[in-house]
Amino acid sequence: MASYRDYDVIPGVTVVEVPVDEGGYLQGVLFGSHFGLLMKAHPYDLTPDLYPDAEAVVLHGRQISLSQGTNLVDDVIYLLANKDVFRSGMDPEAHYFQYGWKEGRATESLLDAAFYLSANPDVQAAGVNPVMHYLEYGWREGRDPWLFFDTDFYLRSQPDVAASGMNPFEHYLQYGRYEGRSPNLFFDSALYLSQNPELAAIGGDPLADYLETGWREGRAASAVFNTRVYLAMNPDVQLAGVNPLEHYLRYGRDEGRVINGGEPATITGVDTGLVRDGEIYTASGRLLVDDPDPNQNAFAVQPETGKTLFYGDYDYLTLLPDGHWTYGYYNPNVPNLKLAALPAGAVREEVFTVRTVGDDLHEIRIRVEGSNDLPVIGGGQSAQLDESKSLIAYGALTIQDRDTGESEFREGQYAGAYGSVALAANGAWEYTFSGNAEEGVVPGSPHDAATDRIILLSADGTEVPVTVQILAHGMAADLVL
């Protein structure tokens, strides 16, 4: 699914029409609520439309206000998820309160009816509608409507909401999540929005973004709960692909699992290396971690492989939990073409940021040096000149050089014993016969056959000999022939 960063934001929209047939089926569009905002898209359209300011949705000519009743039941999604209710024409909230909750139907909002009943067995035993119970009694009793919403915390941290007497979860759904108000101790909405300005710009829901994509990108939930640390310290959670904050709230806090890095670590050891094309193919070293926090004297790696790979511009770095690292991999049968492309004198630097299980960072720097690779030269390196026909001979060279920018020749004039060569960068050359009076070889006058050998140069200075056979001219033997 596309990220919200790819969405087209259309401000000022008040009504969104979603084409739905009488059976409640969407007609060629996708519709949902992502990041707390309405979204509609054609299946083959890579740029869905986002409607942050929608006030109503029209389903098959039926307008549904997004502010009517309670937002603890999502009217639009409820109808789309329950086609029988859509076809009946019944009001979605009325259906849920009269029938839906008894049938185990979801509210399709963030209020998790199954969670609420599971966490409150007295409510379940009493056979009470979970939404109605939370609206009338639950929030006043400090009960939570969703795993990620702490009713007491929200009221304590938002005194204006507490003073208003408004249901805290309804306030969060309607206002709080877009205003950077935090739903629980372990998720800091304001911090998350400050670290993700694109989300803040469209007025999205920070917790929804974190639950959908943020945790996979290693984004911090808060200063209290560090996503990377939790996954690094709990490889079983990482292997299971479970949202770390969800795991902690369901199980981890009761199990006493580590949720942040604590005191900073001291990292020492070898953190620099050198590779040189054609000479030094790999570099290695070891970093040592001294962390005052227990069980954090190691580096974070992928649990399924026991190591982490960092890909650079020229090669990759492998890091093990004990701090051993290696840059590069040498195989004489498979040359590193990226490294080979660096010409002599070229110097680059690769920088890799490694992370301890306590979320402390350190840089490993690799100096990458180029060297000269000899080119492979072919094409016409010889020609024959018959001055009775022309004083010019032609040829064309080819070149392949792995060094960047060196698959060409040094254009210019090159002098020989009997003439000169004009060489182009692409390898085309032209020899002009001008003779050598001291040796008695003069154009237009009788002379014996001669051979001119001229040294041309490639871009990196490799010498390329070119030979021109000059036929005899005006001599007795030549005349007989």
> DSSP letters along 255-296, please?
HT---S--SPPEEEE--EEEEETTTB--EEEEEEEE-SSTT-
For 96, counting Cβ atoms within 10 Å of its Cβ (0-12 exposed, 13-18 middle, 19+ buried), the class is buried
Q: Cα 162–165–168 angle (5° rounding)?
A: 60
**Among candidates 284, 263, 271, 391, which has minimal Cα distance to 330?**
284
Residue 62, pLDDT score: 78
**Looking at the DSSP assignment, which residues form a beta bridge with residue 311?**
316
Give the DSSP H/E element, type plus range, for residue 337: helix 337-340
**Looking at the DSSP assignment, which residues form a beta bridge with residue 318?**
309, 326
Mean pLDDT, contiguous 10-residue spans, the chain (481 residues): 42 65 66 62 58 72 77 86 89 93 91 94 94 95 96 96 95 91 95 87 88 89 89 90 95 90 90 94 96 86 87 95 94 87 94 91 96 94 95 96 94 97 97 94 93 96 96 70 46
**Helices (H), ranges, 91-226:** 92-95, 113-119, 121-126, 130-133, 151-157, 159-164, 168-174, 189-195, 197-201, 206-212
Three-class DSSP category at 349:
strand
Q: How far apart (Å, rounded) are the C-alpha atoms in residues 221 and 207?
A: 9
Q: How far apart (Å, rounded) are the C-alpha atoms in residues 403 and 341?
A: 4
Query: Which phi and psi angles does 51 have, rounded to 5°?
Result: -120, 85
Contacting residues for 328 by C-beta, under 8 A, at least 6 apart: 275, 281, 282, 283, 315, 316, 336
**What is the helix, strand, coil percentage profile of the chain, to 5?**
25, 30, 45
CATH 2.60.40 domain extents, the chain: 376-480
Contact 422, 436 (CB under 8 A): no
Q: How far is CA 143 from CA 81, 245, 418, 445, in A?
A: 27, 20, 101, 113
CATH classification number, 376-480, choose in 1.20.1070, 2.60.98, 2.60.40, 3.30.70:
2.60.40
Residue 31, pLDDT score: 61
**Among candidates 86, 2, 11, 80, which has minimal Cα distance to 43?**
2
Contact 474, 447 (CB under 8 A): yes
Q: How far apart (Å, rounded) are the C-alpha atoms in residues 481 and 469?
A: 17
Q: How far apart (Å, rounded) are the C-alpha atoms in residues 375 and 357?
A: 47
How many of the other CB atoms lie within 10 Å of CB of 32?
A: 14
Residue 480, pLDDT score: 45
**Looking at the DSSP assignment, which residues form a beta bridge with residue 287?**
269
How many of the other CB atoms lie within 10 Å of CB of 444?
A: 11
Q: How far apart (Å, rounded) are the C-alpha atoms in residues 370 and 339?
A: 7
8-state DSSP, 453? E
Contact 101, 111 (CB under 8 A): no
Q: How far is CA 256 from CA 218, 222, 248, 426, in A?
A: 21, 18, 9, 70
